[in-house]
Amino acid sequence: MSSSRTRSLAPLPFVGVLAVGFALAIATPAVAHNFIVSSTPAEGEALTELPEQWQITTNETLLDLGGQGAGFALLVSDEQGLFYGDGCVTIEGAGLSTPAALGTDGAYTLTYQFVSADGHTLSGELPFSWQAGPDFEPHVGLAEPPVCGESASAPAPEPTATTEPAPESTDEPVTDAEPIEPVSDDATPLVIAVAIAVVVAIAGVVTAALLRARARGKAERPDGPEGADL
């Protein structure tokens, strides 16, 4: 009886060891990711003095294969989407950094990306605000993210309205319409002559009509003594 119980309970410790080992195997990759322990600027920080560098420090040495900084980035941008800095990143041990540069007062964002010790690439953003002192000279914002070793162009200035000078006045008035020629006085006698001719022609037509009507009346009346014409 006792031997049977021993055989049934014996595998339990071995099963427990397997379960613990399986749980550790699942949790190990997540624990291996680097995480940020400090940054300049800190998230949400209000800066009044420009630091020498933007910097992020993690809990473990970063994986910089070839020492060329592939997969690493630190970029600062403002609310208008302009970028500041030269795009160069230095990786040293568990941290990465880049020279600091800012423009005028306002809200900014530090965008970072690094390769964790386990080979995973991690990225994120740290918002902060900036209020410069009276002696600060703002840097020029760039339209595109800067690339280390390459010259970046500043955004083109917005066009401003210009007032064109008025054309110089001349003695002669400028007009697009052709001038109207006045009617010559020499045409007046011709108009009068035409009017008279029209009146004479109408009078002639009326007279001829009356004569024809009178002649028709005589022809239709019977003959009578001479001098009886009415």
Q: What is the pTM of this model?
A: 0.55
CB-side neighbour CA atoms (13 Å) of 186: 0
What is the length of the chain?
230
Beta carbons of 116 and 34 less than 8 angstroms apart: yes
- Residue 204: inside a domain: no
Q: In the block, which residue shows the tokens 């473990």? A: 60
| Residue 102 vs residues 46, 50, 155: alpha-carbon distances, Å | 13, 8, 15
Beta carbons of 69 and 89 less than 8 angstroms apart: yes
pLDDT, tens digit (0-9, with 9 covering 90-100), for 143-155: 999 999 987 666 5
Per-residue tokens: 23: 């749980």
State residue 7's pLDDT score. Answer: 45
- Residue 201: inside a domain: no
- Residue 93: inside a domain: yes
pLDDT, tens digit (0-9, with 9 covering 90-100), for 31-87: 579 999 999 999 999 999 999 999 999 999 999 988 889 999 999 999 999 999 999
State residue 211's pLDDT score. Answer: 59
CATH number for position 72: 2.60.40.1220
The whole domain housing 113 covers 32-130
- Residue 124: inside a domain: yes
- Residue 85: inside a domain: yes
Q: How far apart are CA 90 and CA 95, in angstroms?
A: 8
Q: How far apart are CA 111 and CA 119, in angstroms?
A: 19
Q: Per the structure, how many domains does the chain have?
A: 1
